[in-house]
Protein backbone atom coordinates (compact mmCIF):
# COMPACT_ATOMS: atom_id res chain seq x y z
CA UNK A 1 0.00 0.00 0.00
CA UNK A 2 2.84 2.37 0.84
CA UNK A 3 4.42 1.94 -2.63
CA UNK A 4 1.08 2.53 -4.35
CA UNK A 5 0.59 5.79 -2.42
CA UNK A 6 4.12 6.92 -3.26
CA UNK A 7 3.59 6.11 -6.96
CA UNK A 8 0.35 8.08 -6.91
CA UNK A 9 2.05 11.10 -5.30
CA UNK A 10 4.91 11.00 -7.81
CA UNK A 11 2.47 10.65 -10.68
CA UNK A 12 0.37 13.60 -9.50
CA UNK A 13 3.47 15.74 -8.96
CA UNK A 14 4.71 14.94 -12.46
CA UNK A 15 1.33 15.76 -13.98
CA UNK A 16 1.15 19.04 -12.05
CA UNK A 17 4.62 20.07 -13.21
CA UNK A 18 3.79 19.18 -16.80
CA UNK A 19 0.57 21.21 -16.67
CA UNK A 20 2.47 24.15 -15.19
CA UNK A 21 4.84 24.02 -18.15
CA UNK A 22 7.78 22.77 -16.13
CA UNK A 23 9.59 19.55 -16.74
CA UNK A 24 8.54 19.51 -20.39
CA UNK A 25 11.22 17.81 -22.46
CA UNK A 26 12.06 19.07 -25.95
CA UNK A 27 10.94 16.79 -28.74
CA UNK A 28 13.81 14.80 -30.22
CA UNK A 29 12.08 14.80 -33.62
CA UNK A 30 12.09 18.62 -33.90
CA UNK A 31 15.49 19.43 -35.43
CA UNK A 32 16.70 23.04 -35.36
CA UNK A 33 15.40 25.23 -38.18
CA UNK A 34 17.65 26.64 -40.87
CA UNK A 35 17.30 30.10 -39.29
CA UNK A 36 18.30 28.75 -35.85
CA UNK A 37 21.35 27.08 -37.38
CA UNK A 38 22.30 30.26 -39.25
CA UNK A 39 21.80 32.33 -36.09
CA UNK A 40 24.11 30.03 -34.12
CA UNK A 41 26.70 30.15 -36.90
CA UNK A 42 26.54 33.96 -36.92
CA UNK A 43 27.02 34.23 -33.14
CA UNK A 44 30.02 31.91 -33.32
CA UNK A 45 31.42 33.94 -36.22
CA UNK A 46 31.16 37.25 -34.32
CA UNK A 47 32.69 35.69 -31.19
CA UNK A 48 35.55 34.39 -33.38
CA UNK A 49 36.08 37.91 -34.75
CA UNK A 50 36.08 39.37 -31.22
CA UNK A 51 38.74 36.87 -30.19
CA UNK A 52 40.71 37.77 -33.33
CA UNK A 53 40.83 41.44 -32.28
CA UNK A 54 42.35 40.40 -28.95
CA UNK A 55 44.78 38.05 -30.67
CA UNK A 56 46.20 40.29 -33.41
CA UNK A 57 45.28 43.78 -32.25
CA UNK A 58 42.75 46.33 -33.40
CA UNK A 59 44.44 47.66 -36.57
CA UNK A 60 45.34 44.25 -38.01
CA UNK A 61 41.85 42.93 -37.24
CA UNK A 62 40.10 45.91 -38.86
CA UNK A 63 42.23 45.46 -41.97
CA UNK A 64 41.31 41.76 -42.14
CA UNK A 65 37.59 42.47 -41.55
CA UNK A 66 37.56 44.82 -44.58
CA UNK A 67 39.38 42.36 -46.85
CA UNK A 68 36.73 41.01 -49.26
CA UNK A 69 38.88 37.90 -49.77
CA UNK A 70 39.83 37.55 -46.09
CA UNK A 71 38.79 35.00 -43.51
CA UNK A 72 35.95 37.15 -42.17
CA UNK A 73 33.97 37.25 -45.39
CA UNK A 74 32.27 33.91 -45.91
CA UNK A 75 29.58 32.09 -47.85
CA UNK A 76 29.77 34.31 -50.94
CA UNK A 77 29.47 37.46 -48.82
CA UNK A 78 26.40 36.20 -46.98
CA UNK A 79 28.37 36.39 -43.73
CA UNK A 80 30.82 39.20 -43.02
CA UNK A 81 32.05 41.36 -40.14
CA UNK A 82 31.39 45.05 -39.71
CA UNK A 83 33.09 47.22 -37.08
CA UNK A 84 32.19 50.68 -35.75
CA UNK A 85 33.22 53.08 -33.06
CA UNK A 86 30.63 54.37 -30.61
CA UNK A 87 30.16 57.54 -32.69
CA UNK A 88 28.72 55.28 -35.45
CA UNK A 89 31.69 55.71 -37.78
CA UNK A 90 32.35 52.56 -39.80
CA UNK A 91 35.85 51.22 -39.18
CA UNK A 92 35.61 48.01 -41.21
CA UNK A 93 33.05 46.37 -43.48
CA UNK A 94 33.58 43.06 -45.24
CA UNK A 95 30.83 43.49 -47.85
CA UNK A 96 30.77 47.23 -48.51
CA UNK A 97 34.27 48.69 -48.05
CA UNK A 98 33.13 52.13 -49.27
CA UNK A 99 31.32 52.53 -45.92
CA UNK A 100 34.65 52.60 -44.05
CA UNK A 101 35.31 56.05 -42.61
CA UNK A 102 31.68 57.17 -43.00
CA UNK A 103 29.56 58.41 -40.12
CA UNK A 104 26.34 56.38 -40.29
CA UNK A 105 24.65 57.90 -37.23
CA UNK A 106 21.64 58.99 -39.27
CA UNK A 107 21.44 55.90 -41.51
CA UNK A 108 17.80 54.75 -41.55
CA UNK A 109 16.22 51.66 -43.00
CA UNK A 110 12.96 51.78 -44.99
CA UNK A 111 11.00 51.51 -41.74
CA UNK A 112 12.68 54.63 -40.30
CA UNK A 113 14.90 52.75 -37.86
CA UNK A 114 18.27 54.35 -37.11
CA UNK A 115 20.08 51.08 -37.75
CA UNK A 116 23.65 51.77 -36.67
CA UNK A 117 22.45 53.62 -33.57
CA UNK A 118 20.28 50.62 -32.62
CA UNK A 119 23.19 48.22 -33.09
CA UNK A 120 25.55 50.52 -31.16
CA UNK A 121 23.06 50.95 -28.32
CA UNK A 122 22.72 47.19 -27.93
CA UNK A 123 26.50 46.75 -27.80
CA UNK A 124 26.90 49.67 -25.37
CA UNK A 125 24.07 48.70 -23.02
CA UNK A 126 24.26 44.91 -22.95
CA UNK A 127 27.78 44.17 -24.20
CA UNK A 128 26.26 41.96 -26.89
CA UNK A 129 22.91 41.15 -28.37
CA UNK A 130 20.55 40.96 -31.33
CA UNK A 131 18.83 43.67 -33.36
CA UNK A 132 16.38 43.13 -36.23
CA UNK A 133 16.39 45.73 -39.00
CA UNK A 134 16.36 46.11 -42.78
CA UNK A 135 19.56 46.29 -44.85
CA UNK A 136 20.59 45.94 -48.49
CA UNK A 137 21.61 42.35 -49.08
CA UNK A 138 24.91 42.46 -51.05
CA UNK A 139 23.98 39.22 -52.82
CA UNK A 140 20.66 40.57 -54.19
CA UNK A 141 21.09 44.35 -54.04
CA UNK A 142 17.67 44.62 -52.38
CA UNK A 143 16.78 45.79 -48.89
CA UNK A 144 15.43 42.94 -46.81
CA UNK A 145 14.96 41.92 -43.21
CA UNK A 146 18.20 41.25 -41.35
CA UNK A 147 19.05 39.97 -37.89
CA UNK A 148 22.27 41.44 -36.54
CA UNK A 149 24.40 40.29 -33.62
CA UNK A 150 26.85 42.75 -32.04
CA UNK A 151 29.61 42.52 -29.44
CA UNK A 152 31.34 45.33 -27.56
CA UNK A 153 35.13 44.93 -27.75
CA UNK A 154 36.04 47.95 -25.60
CA UNK A 155 34.89 51.54 -25.06
CA UNK A 156 35.91 52.53 -28.58
CA UNK A 157 34.97 49.52 -30.72
CA UNK A 158 32.05 47.18 -31.35
CA UNK A 159 31.57 44.72 -34.15
CA UNK A 160 28.93 42.47 -35.56
CA UNK A 161 27.48 40.47 -38.36
CA UNK A 162 24.05 39.55 -39.58
CA UNK A 163 21.92 37.02 -41.37
CA UNK A 164 19.06 37.44 -43.79
CA UNK A 165 16.41 35.12 -42.31
Residues spanned by the domain of 131: 33-163
Residue 60 lies in a domain: yes
Question: How large is the average pLDDT for residues 27-53?
Answer: 89
Residue 57 lies in a domain: yes
Residue 106 lies in a domain: yes
Global pTM? 0.78
Residue 88's CATH number: 3.30.450.20
What is the bridge-based pairing of β-strands 143-154 and 157-163?
antiparallel
Q: Express each pLDDT in 46-73 by its tens digit.
A: 999 999 999 999 999 999 999 999 999 9
Question: How large is the average pLDDT for residues 130-158?
Answer: 92
The total of structural domains in the chain comes to 1
Residue 21 lies in a domain: no
Residue 25 lies in a domain: no
Residue 22 lies in a domain: no
Residue 12 lies in a domain: no
Closest CA to 49 of 135, 138, 162, 155: 162
**59's torsion region: left (phi>0), alpha (psi -120 to 50) or beta?**
alpha
Residue 18 lies in a domain: no
Amino acid sequence: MRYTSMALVVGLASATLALAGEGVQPQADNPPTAVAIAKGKMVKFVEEAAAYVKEVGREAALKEFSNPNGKFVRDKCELYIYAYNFKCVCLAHGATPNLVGRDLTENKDSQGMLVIQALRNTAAKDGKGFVEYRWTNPATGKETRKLGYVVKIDDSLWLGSGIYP
